Structure 1
Amino acid sequence: MARPLMPPMCRFFPSCSDYALQALEKHGAARGSWLAVRRVCRCHPWHPGGVDQVPDRSET
């Protein structure tokens, strides 16, 4: 309920949860989960963040 009132906190676009959903849709459960875990591991104060789209199937 309070989420719309709070400023966005994710350092990436799309957010990690949106990235995970897109990765699962594009790559299936195994590869999509691996991509999502890698993304969450990059989410820390020392990473600059930025735009990080889910790679296409041909790029992985």
Structure 2
Amino acid sequence: MEEEINKSGSREAAENFESFSEELSKPEPKKSLLKTLWKGTIDALPILAQLTGVVSSIVKLFS
């Protein structure tokens, strides 16, 4: 995921994903914030949605 973001050069996707990663590393991450940051990352770089294995794992975090 991070490799794709770096290759794209999308600053918006990079900032959203960085914030997502920071929130995820907290002992009790806020699911609503993770969902918002993830949506922002995908909106900024739609090709990431095609990485189905990663997307599937991340979506499980919101459940």
Q: Same fold (TM over 0.5)?
A: no
Instruction: Tell me which structure has the larger Cα radius of gyration.
Output: 1
Q: Is the strand fraction higher in 1 or 2? A: 1
**Greater relative contact order (Cα < 8 A, sep 6+):** 1
Structure with bigger helix share is 2
TM superposition score normalised by structure 1 = 0.35
TM-score (norm 2): 0.35
